[in-house]
Amino acid sequence: MDITVCLMKATGETEMRRVEDATFDKLRKIIGCRNAEYVPLKGGNALLVDEEGLLKEEPQYNEFASFNAKRHIVGDALAVRLSDMDEIPYK
């Protein structure tokens, strides 16, 4: 399954990406983490964030992702449609 995601970098940049044959592992690699946390948002979307972001050597606060999630987010985040998340295999 191919999906489109929005990468919200901790630097403030955003980037739309097309992920071919999307898997949970591919999405984790885009944000550079081992353990990803799923944060539901209003409007049928969710964020995929680094669950261990605060443990990194130099954690970076992600202002844009934090604003959308209504909580503190550290590191890069991916905005994904909830309907796409339900279809993505956990490989």
**pTM (2 decimals)?**
0.89
Confidence check: pLDDT of 91 > 80: no
What confidence score (pLDDT) does residue 23 get? 94
Residue given tokens 């353990």 in the structure block: 35
Using one digit for the tens of pLDDT, what is the confidence trace for 3-56? 999 999 999 999 999 999 999 999 999 999 999 998 999 899 999 999 988 888
Residues 36 and 53: their CA atoms lie apart, in Å, by 9
Q: Are 41 and 69 in contact (CB under 8 A)?
A: yes
User: What would the mean pLDDT of 64-68 be, rounded to a whole number?
Assistant: 95
